[in-house]
Structures are given as C-alpha cells and as structure tokens.
C-alpha cells in the first residue's frame, strides 16, 4: 500500500503539470521553465477550502501583490502612467536640486522669523524671547519617532501573520473533523467474517474478468488494517477500510476460503475461471 504522503505529492505534481501544459498551449510557448513561475504564482494565490484562504496569505499574512494596482502607490498614479520612464520618474528619489532649493527656502523662513521677533517691543519690562537658532533642537512633538514606534508596523505585520496561520490551522482541524465524521458514516468498520468486494486493478484484469473479487475478513489489527482471504488463500496485502466495499449479503463463510497460504491479488485472480490477463512475468 502506497504512503498517503507520496500519493498527495503525486496529485499535487499532476495538478501543476496540467496547469503548465495549459499555459504552454495558451501562450504557444515551448520554454516550460519560464512557465513554472506562473504556475507557482497561480498555485500560491488559489483559494483552498481546507485553510479557507490562499497559501500565500497563510504564509505571509496578506494577499499577494500583483502589478501596480496592488502596490503602495496611490490609485490615481498608475492610471496616468504611459511608459516605464513615467514609472521610474515616480519611484526615483528627489534630486539634489530640489534638496538645495528646499534648504534655501528654510533659511529664508528662519531669517524672516528673526526679523519679526526683533521688531516686537518688550511689554512691562519683560525680556524679549530669545531668537531662534538653527542649532536649537526641535520640540519633542516634531522629533523623529522612537525606535519602538518605528517597529510598530513590523510587530503588526508579525501579528497578522501569526493570526492568519492560526486561522489556517483551525480550518484544517475543522476539515479533518468533518472528514473523519463523514468517513465513519460512509465507511462502516468491518468485522471478522464479513464479506467484502476487493477492486481488481485494470492492469490485472482481462477482458472477461470481473471488477471485484469476493473475500472474507479474517483479521483486523490495532491500526484498522484488514486481512482478507479468498478461495485461493489470504491476500498478502493489508487493506484499509477505503480500499474495499462491504457486501450486504453473506456469500462466503470462513470455511469457504483458504487460510493456509498467502497469495497476491494477481495470483488469486489467476485461480478464477477467467484467469486474469494471463501475464506471468510480473510475478
């Protein structure tokens, strides 16, 4: 019996392959390595019912940003952009000329403030206020924020990521509980002596062979894995409950099956009237 983790990885690989083939066909491209980036983006931004969100949001705490519409630029700026040069002009920092003109305007404002203070007369012998100095420190309200305030957005981002991951885990637990509840209703546990129908793989079936082979449960271990016996012997593979169906009628008794030897499903099919596909090399 294959490992469930391996089967899950194979299903994910098949899904990615189908998306990649569709991308290559739609864009008429042969360089599939380039398409892997688009497949990754589509997989990460797809909504999953298990976690009730996208995998990107569960990992980073926010939706993926694609294009300028999801960037930090104001909405009216992307609408006015016509070329990459316009975008670079918006993103580049202010030039040194703008910085020098701004400093000159600041010096003019400081000089005007000094003249206004000197022209004000003193009232009732009070000393005039001290002139403003360029080296005078700014008030506390105008000082740059402290380090703790600067780190607040980072703390909020980490908190959002933690909350999104917590909600994803809760959604997965809820989905697992629903699956277990549904499987207990749909897949009733089998007991020793019950008749079961074991599906026969297509690679082992001949044209006239049945789809299933009838057997009897002879053992059930602590991991809910079943031993099934047919007329030719006990099947060598242990089966989980989802790998066979319970028969509503008792067609075989424990005395009708052979419990003295162990055989494969292919050997059991070969012992029937039809004989399977007739290939012996795989045994």
Instruction: Render pLDDT for 174-200 as a digit per residue (tens, 0 to 9).
Output: 888 888 888 778 788 888 889 999 998
Range from 7-16, 62-71, 216-225 that averages highest in pLDDT: 216-225
Calculate Rg over the CA atoms of the chain. Answer: 37
Please work out, in degrees rounded to the nearest 5, the angle formed at the alpha carbon of residue 241 by the alpha carbons of 236 and 247. 90
Query: What does each C-alpha distance from 201 to 69, 246, 265 come to in angstroms?
Result: 52, 18, 9
In sequence order, which residues have a C-beta less than 8 Å from that of residue 217 and are 6 or more positions away? 190, 191, 192, 193, 194, 196, 226, 227, 228
Please state the rounded mean pLDDT for residues 72-82.
74
The percent helix, strand, coil of the chain (3-state, each to 5) is 50, 10, 40
The pLDDT of residue 114 is 53
- Residue recorded with tokens 């189908």: 18
**Rounded distance between C-alpha atoms, residue 253 and residue 214, angstroms:** 11
Give the phi and the psi of residue 279 in degrees, each rounded to 5.
-90, 135
Give the residues across from 104 on adjacent strands.
none
* Total-model pTM: 0.43
* pLDDT band, very low/low/confident/very high, at 120 (cuts 50, 70, 90): low
Q: Which helix (H) or strand (E) holds 171?
A: helix 152-186
Listed as own residue / partner, the contacts of 24-30 with beta carbons closer than 8 Å and 24 or more positions apart are none
Give the residues across from 195 on adjacent strands.
216
Please state the rounded mean pLDDT for residues 27-55.
87
- Residue recorded with tokens 């990459």: 84
């Amino acid at each position: 019996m294959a490992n469930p983790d391996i089967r899950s990885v194979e299903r994910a690989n098949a899904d990615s392959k189908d998306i990649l083939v569709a991308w290559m066909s739609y864009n008429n491209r042969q360089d599939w390595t380039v398409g892997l980036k688009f497949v990754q983006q589509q997989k990460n931004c797809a909504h999953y019912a298990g976690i009730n969100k996208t995998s990107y949001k569960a990992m980073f705490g926010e939706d993926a940003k694609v294009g300028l519409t999801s960037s930090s630029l104001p909405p009216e700026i992307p609408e006015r952009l016509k070329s990459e040069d316009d975008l670079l002009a918006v993103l580049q920092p202010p030039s040194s000329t703008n910085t020098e003109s701004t400093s000159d305007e600041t010096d003019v404002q400081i000089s005007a403030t000094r003249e206004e203070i000197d022209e004000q007369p003193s009232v009732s012998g009070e000393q005039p206020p001290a002139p403003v100095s360029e080296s005078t420190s700014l008030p506390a309200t105008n000082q740059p924020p402290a380090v703790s305030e600067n780190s607040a957005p980072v703390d909020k981002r980490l908190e959002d990521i933690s909350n999104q991951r917590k909600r994803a885990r809760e959604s997965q637990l809820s989905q697992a509980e629903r699956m277990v509840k549904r499987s207990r209703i749909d897949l009733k546990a089998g007991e020793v002596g019950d008749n079961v129908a074991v599906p026969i793989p297509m690679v082992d079936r001949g044209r006239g062979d049945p789809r299933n082979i009838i057997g009897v449960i002879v053992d059930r271990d602590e991991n809910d894995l079943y031993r099934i016996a047919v007329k030719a012997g006990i099947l060598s593979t242990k089966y989980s409950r989802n790998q066979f169906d319970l028969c509503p009628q008792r067609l075989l008794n424990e005395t009708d099956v052979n419990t003295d030897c162990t055989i494969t499903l292919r050997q059991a099919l070969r012992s029937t009237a039809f004989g399977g596909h007739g290939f012996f090399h795989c045994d």
